[in-house]
Structure 1
Amino acid sequence: MKKKRFVLLLDDVWEKVNLKQIGVPHPTTENKCKIVFTTRSREVCSHMGVHHPTEVELLREPDAWDLFKRKVGENTLGRHVDIRGLAKKLANSCHGLPLALNVIGETMASKTTVGEWEHAIRALSSSSTTSEIRAVKDDILPVFKYSYDDLSSDGVKSCFRYCALFPAGSALKKVDLIDYWICEKLLGINRSRQSATERGHAIINELVRTSLLRNVDDSGQYVKMYTVVHKMASWVATDLGKDKEKRVVHANKAELRQLPNVTNWRRVRRMLLMNTGIAMLSGSPDCSRLTTLLLQQNRNLVGISGDFFMKMPNIGVLNLSSTNLKQLPKELSDLISLRFLDLSSTQIETLPDGLQKLKKLLHLNLERTSRLRSVAGISRVPLLRVLKLRSSKCLTDVETVKELNSLKHLEVITIDVSSTSALKELFKYNKLANSVQRLCVVEAKRNFGLSTTDGLIDLTIRSCSTLEVEVQTSSSCLTFRYLSTVSISSCADLTELTWLLFAPNLTVLKLRGLNKLQEIMNKKTAAPQLQGEATLQKLETLELSDLPILKQIYWSALPFPCLKSIKVRSCPKLIRLPLDSKSCDLKKTFVIKYNDKNWIKRIEWKDPATQARFKSCCLKVNLLYLLYIYIYIYIYIVITDS
């Protein structure tokens, strides 16, 4: 082959191919040879020297239908007037995966009755892994299982199997998934939370690289598993279908009003009952092997009997979020292995009785508990690492801060503070302050300082009429190095926000109702080492509304390589944007939204090239439409919180 020009095609490569060893010359520009290979592993790409592989996207709906139609054949599609419509529905359930479209299409080519097609659709969309669709089991599942078998460790495989507990196609928040894994001890026992979290992200990245999970969008916060992959995950999670009661999953079944029928509760390892019609959980099922019980989004659930938890000694993860529970039975203390408890968006008014007996509890979520007014006694949960209190009625006072500081293992806290004295008390304790990830300061009556908040990710400041933020920084100038989201509203005396220069990873900035804000960043007060093109490098979303005297965002043009949208509403004096002809990556979606047609006419662009670059990105948004959206979001939040 040394003297020949060639194109070598290698399909489904799972390990590095030593080209020299098999007598294939390395392709160069001189010999004009090409080697093309397909793989489901990015590691293989790296080992083969390909650092920028071309990812094969899922087929779009028209292309997927064309492929499926070819495999089924017009003869079958024309056998009955309803078959074509059913075929499109079945093709859509393959989510653009060519392998699934090929195999299922070939299988259905011989199905000529409406009943057979309806049966196939039910079988593919159900959680069953029997032989209703033989192609899924006999052809597709083994192919995906090869990807599973090739995962780097048993720990990664365990984490993947855990994903099968959730409905196919549902968006799974990465941080929530990792928290489950931590508290199920799938990421090791003696790791720090930071180390375990890093390991969790590495595992998710491996599952994405091997196409067993897919990112939902560009935010990188969510992943999902498509139906056929979910089939395989369920298959391996139940010992290749031999032990189906190992996991019990019922989601989006309003007709389910009591515990499902299970032949042997002792076999159940993990159970999800989500968005069902269950109103009361009673009885005492013998679930001695149960380690995860997910009961979230059961809006009708108002009570749990005292004996329900009696025979569940090994539960490590319990999720009761978004239910109508007002209290929990004192027998909760029987869950001696519990490490994760989620009570967010419930109606509880006090901390559960027996909480202090949960000596292994690591993670407690009480966010959006609109009736919870105190967490007094929380210090009696000694090993607590994560405590989430944002958007609860439990506004933190000085005594609460002191009690929180006594939790020596606390690594993450989300909290609302309305007292300036409580905020100052919080910042007195460096370890506690650095544990704050999400902070909401509401109705603070005096100026306050933000300092030593190295762990802060999300900051909300609301209705602080006399607020001036005083940033106390170290020489490193990385006070807010993890801060990604800032929302400030209804702060009447705020004049500038130059301190945001200390947040190099800021991605979302929302400002509303700041009547004295003249400029977001002031050149005179900015530290010289923080000025320049590196400013706001990660910013993706900028929303400005009801800022009557705002004149300037930044004093010069910025590159904004990640910026996706600027939204401007009722900012009449803002006539210059920090953009030039090289700002923003217009290959990606970018839009400037505004509500006043005269505002866009008043904009003073830096030069004609800048105006030409961004003119097509400007979009007027109807105020009535915005009002409709705001009302819809408000109603959704109210319903969710109730």
Structure 2
Amino acid sequence: MELAASVTGAIFTETVRSMSGSVRNRINATNRFEENWRAFDTALPSLKEIRTKVKKVLETMEVKGESVQFRLRRWLEDVEGIVSEATSLGEKRLSSILFLKWRLGYKLSSLVEDIKRLEELGVHLLDRCAGDGSVKRIEYIPGPTIFGLTTATGMLSDIAEKLKDNGIHIMGVWGIGGVGKTTLVKALNNKLGKEHNTHPFRLVVWVTVSKEFNLIRVQRQITERLKIKTNLGDTSEELAGRIRHVLTEETNVLLILDDVWEPIDLNLLGIPFTRRPDSLKVVLTSRFHDVCRNIHTDVDFKVECLSGDESWKLFCQSAGNVARSDLVKPIAKAVSRECGGLPLAIITVGSTLRGKKDVKLWNHALKELKRSVPYATSIEERVFKPLKLSFDSLDDKMKSCFLFCALFPEDTPIKIGELVSYWMAEGYIDEEGNHEESMNEGMTWIENLKDCCLLEDGPHDGTIKMHDIVRDFSIWVTSSSQSEYHSLIMSGSSLREIQPNKFVSSVQRVSLMQNKLEKLPESLVECAQASTLLLQYNSHLLEVPQGFLQAFPSLRILNLSATRVRSLPQSLCLLYSLQSLILRDCYFLKELPSLNTLLKLQYLDLCATGIRETPEGLEVMTRLRHLDLSRTHHLISIPAGTISKLTSLETLDMSLSSYHWNTKGQVQVGHATFEEIGCLTSLYALSVRLFSIPSLSFKVYSLIGRLTRFQIFIGSDVLSLPTRFDMRMIKLSSYNVSQVSIGWLLVNSTSLILNNCTGVNELFKKNLVNEDIRSFDVLKSLTINGFPASLGPSGGSMAQLDLFPNLEELHLQHVASETISELFGNLGFRFQRLKLLDISWCSKLTCILLVGNWILSLPSLEEIRVSRCERLQELLVYSPGILEASHEPLLPKLRVVKLKSLSKLKRICDQGEPLECLEQIEVIDCKLLGSLPISSKNAAGVKE
């Protein structure tokens, strides 16, 4: 009995403890009920607001004919479920039952977490879809056509079909160099772009890997394509995490990895890989089947050489009709056969012989192709032989210019301006002409090399690149010590050290750029013939030994840009033949040795160095043509008489330099004056900062008149200047423009920037009341930033004169006008040639244009950008009956509208306004905007 009582007591005690714990938990949960409900009341409206934005985005995408984003649709479905559940909970909120409140408390807590998760995901999806953060589904990649090549088009169809197979996730495309692998996958990319409604991929990402594999470089290509925000110092692990986070949220993604030379761990790249039907798929190209196998491809396609018929068809496309003429055709067919079916070789040889009608030339070409060369049995030789034919057809200077391109790392875009400057320093281009003439000659040579298929367009404007095979050929040509073009090329190879035995006396050029070199050899065999030494982008390099430069007595080009050198050795002064010294972005370089022996120097680039004064000996450089002192943030001294002695100077770039020029009488004794620049009769491009507007003198006036490009910043504030001479620009900051004579300076300017200036209306009035003053006739761009009053002088409401007859761009920031239409009546603006209207931070602006009276049409306007104007309600406001009365549209050429952070904007324009040319409209954070100006008249043309 005692035992039973003991057991019963223990059970009762434990039961009571359990019940009391449960009740206590319920009471605590009930106490948290109101706290959870307050969190719920805060979170749900925010989620509903994001839901509204998502719906608008989807509506816009549907109007434009785009496929609806699956992720947005799925997100909306989840949100609707949450909202429905929230409504149900709201009905139970007033219940006083303890048990029900306990249950609701737990449910609310879980629901708030779900709401916050969906809110975060919604913001992320909107960022991906809106404005500048949008990611194009498929980017068109230019490349040769495969039209008419049966084998290639057939393989393209096979690859596209295999991509639909849910059991295939990684696909390899392999074959020898020059056989057309990259061309094939470019065609695949573009095919998917054209047929986006018939394939499952919502996103295609193209990445070029290259022979010298660099994990971070490849990752950055992916982050740039996906518009993932990164930091300069991010590690590969951090980049992989960001890539993985974004791609995990995506479905049906295709990743194309072009030119893979070794197996890649996709996980290290940040590629999330599963075997789900909608998971990411990969297509890679490689010269080696082993690479495909080691990456565990599911299926591989070998790209074979072209058949005889296809080779002949492609050859005729490249060589033109002359190949089919009766006399040439038999020889042309033999030449085509000698190309071995390699598309690159066929195109190269065919382009070289295009238009050549002399049978002797064709026979010579055939003879050269049949000649044996070293290592004739290797795969590379099958390409190198036909490439050598094209190379041998060049004259000596053109050969040297072509081979110079191989000094740059593989797959690196080469800036045309930089390349031509090198050619000029090497002496390949005539020094007698001015810079513009020399650049034109260089551009002509580049076009000739492109016509021979030895160079091709780069990924950006103003760049070119070498095909991998062509670069390999170039290195093969220059690698022999017996070659007259012998070069040491180890650029982009991740070198930390270079052995002295790599340098031999026969070397002509040395390229060690874009490595990780920490030191250079102290002494070398003398490289007496070397003319070029490229060491830029070795960010770990701290010094250049005295003996190292002594080994290169004949140097014409020395580039140490973006290294960490703090000083240069005295042996620099022994480089008597030096034409080009480039020290750009050497931030730690504080001073240079005397340059008074470098009498042949023509190009000196000290941009973004740490120098405090110009180097000693600069004044004796009478052959110097280009001096770059831009971004010299510590420069405080230019000795008097230095600049005026540079009698050959053509460009002087001091944009973003801390140095302010001043005029005679206002400058410290011993310092250069602005008048010295007026002595430079060869100068055509100038970018400088002045403390004040110089007094009108014949010397200064004639200087401004003869400059082709200039950027002159006047004022005390430190503001940015563009770093390129792309216009004739005057920028005034914190200056009273009415107190000095400025018209003579503006009459030659195409761009005027007035930043926080006073006296602006008075300046305009002078031109309005006196028709003989035409200061703004050539002005094409006007920027006004920081003007607290309405623009336009009092009494100017009847202005009949068009003050800016040729204005194409108008930028207004922090201006107090209520409407831009004020500029019509007060200043006589007509805007007949205006192409861009850019307005931001104008707090009093209620509408952009009042249509009627002064404004009936803006015939040339192509783009409107408006942001952060807190009172703006409408872009266009119409006078009664104006739309019905007008026979012409107000904005017949408007293509682009970009609107951002306009909290009160309700309408863009009247629904009757036909914006037939509209192509792009971006709306970000405009909560009250009810509709977009998209109709049946322009929906087909709107691209995004």
Is 1:312 matched up with 2:397? Answer: no
Q: 1:234 to 1:89 in 2, by over 3 A?
A: same
**Secondary structure at the residue paired with 2:619?**
helix
Q: 1:479 to 1:264 in 2, by over 3 A?
A: farther
Q: 1:249 to 1:452 in 2, by over 3 A?
A: same
Choose from 503, 518, 532 the match for 1:256: 518
Displacement of 1:170: 3.5
Letter in 1 for 2:440: E
Kept in 2, the 8 Å contact 1:438–1:459? The answer is no
Partner of 1:188: 430
Cα distance in 1 for residues equivalent to 2:742 and 2:901: 35
CA offsets per residue over residues 22-81 of structure 1, 9 Å max, x none? Answer: xxxxxxxxxxxxxxxxxxxxxxxxxxxxxxxxx992289xxxxx979969x99xxxxxxx
Partner of 1:337: 600
Kept in 1, the 8 Å contact 2:613–2:636? The answer is yes
Cα distance in 2 for residues equivalent to 1:150 and 1:520: 63
Displacement of 1:179: 4.1
Cα distance in 1 for residues equivalent to 2:408 and 2:773: 43
Displacement of 1:370: 0.8
Choose from 868, 875, 879 the match for 1:569: 868
Partner of 1:350: 613
Partner of 1:489: 785
Cα distance in 2 for residues equivalent to 1:475 and 1:99: 63
Q: 1:85 to 1:455 in 2, by over 3 A?
A: farther
Displacement of 1:365: 0.4
Letter in 1 for 2:435: R
Q: 1:111 to 1:321 in 2, by over 3 A?
A: closer
Q: 1:356 to 1:615 in 2, by over 3 A?
A: closer
CA offsets per residue over residues 296-321 of structure 1, 9 Å max, x none? Answer: 122x22111222x1332211111101
**Secondary structure at the residue paired with 1:252?**
coil
Displacement of 1:144: 5.3
Letter in 1 for 2:736: K
Q: 1:138 to 1:492 in 2, by over 3 A?
A: farther
Is 1:387 matched up with 2:638? Answer: no
Cα distance in 2 for residues equivalent to 1:455 and 1:210: 42
Partner of 1:6: none
Cα distance in 2 for residues equivalent to 1:583 and 1:351: 50
Partner of 1:283: 546
Letter in 2 for 1:371: H
Is 1:322 matched up with 2:585? Answer: yes
Cα distance in 2 for residues equivalent to 1:282 and 1:557: 68
TM-score by length of 2: 0.46
CA offsets per residue over residues 101-121 of structure 1, 9 Å max, x none? Answer: 899979524778759x9xxxx
Is 1:544 matched up with 2:839? Answer: yes
Choose from 405, 411, 429 the match for 2:701: 429
Structure (1 or 2) with the greater helix fraction: 2
Is 1:603 matched up with 2:908? Answer: yes
Partner of 1:4: none
Partner of 1:199: 441
**Secondary structure at the residue paired with 1:464?**
coil
Displacement of 1:95: 9.5
Structure 2 segments unaligned to the other structure (5+ residues): 1-139, 146-150, 160-168, 187-257, 262-284, 298-373, 489-506, 665-672, 714-731, 794-801, 878-888, 928-944
Is 1:269 matched up with 2:520? Answer: no
Cα distance in 2 for residues equivalent to 1:480 and 1:246: 53
% identical aligned pairs? 17
Letter in 2 for 1:403: E
Choose from 494, 507, 514 the match for 2:815: 514
Structure 1 segments unaligned to the other structure (5+ residues): 1-54, 61-65, 75-82, 118-129, 624-642
Kept in 2, the 8 Å contact 1:327–1:352? The answer is no
RMSD across aligned positions (CA) = 5.1
Kept in 2, the 8 Å contact 1:545–1:571? The answer is no
Is 1:216 matched up with 2:459? Answer: yes
Kept in 2, the 8 Å contact 1:478–1:503? The answer is no
Displacement of 1:543: 3.9
Cα distance in 1 for residues equivalent to 2:403 and 2:772: 46
Kept in 2, the 8 Å contact 1:433–1:453? The answer is no
Kept in 1, the 8 Å contact 2:508–2:532? The answer is yes
Is 1:408 matched up with 2:681? Answer: yes
Cα distance in 1 for residues equivalent to 2:260 and 2:589: 50
Partner of 2:91: none
Kept in 2, the 8 Å contact 1:439–1:459? The answer is no
Q: 1:582 to 1:209 in 2, by over 3 A?
A: farther
Cα distance in 1 for residues equivalent to 2:752 and 2:378: 52
Q: How many residue pairs are counted as aligned between the two chains?
A: 517
Once the two structures are superposed, the pairs formed by residues 551-630 of structure 1 within 5 Å of their partners are 551-552=847-848, 555-558=855-858, 563=862, 566-570=865-869, 572-573=871-872, 575-576=874-875, 582-584=892-894, 590=896, 592-596=898-902, 598-599=904-905, 601-605=906-910, 607-610=912-915, 614=918, 617-620=921-924
Displacement of 1:339: 0.2
Partner of 1:25: none
Displacement of 1:388: 0.8
Of residues 572-581 and 199-208 in structure 1, the stretch that sits farther from structure 2 once superposed is 572-581
Cα distance in 2 for residues equivalent to 1:196 and 1:517: 51
Kept in 2, the 8 Å contact 1:434–1:454? The answer is no
**Secondary structure at the residue paired with 2:599?**
coil
CA offsets per residue over residues 471-522 of structure 1, 9 Å max, x none? Answer: 98999999786x7776553355682797654356x6xx65433345853894
Letter in 2 for 1:283: Q
Displacement of 1:453: 6.5
Displacement of 1:272: 1.6
**Secondary structure at the residue paired with 2:570?**
coil
Partner of 1:138: 381
Cα distance in 1 for residues equivalent to 2:743 and 2:606: 29
Is 1:303 matched up with 2:303? Answer: no
TM-score by length of 1: 0.65
Partner of 1:372: 635
Displacement of 1:99: 11
Displacement of 1:350: 0.6
Letter in 2 for 1:293: L
Of residues 154-163 and 316-325 in structure 1, the stretch that sits farther from structure 2 once superposed is 154-163
Once the two structures are superposed, the pairs formed by residues 422-461 of structure 1 within 5 Å of their partners are 422=694, 424=696, 428-435=700-707, 436-440=709-713, 441-447=732-738, 449-451=742-744, 460-461=753-754
Letter in 1 for 2:596: S
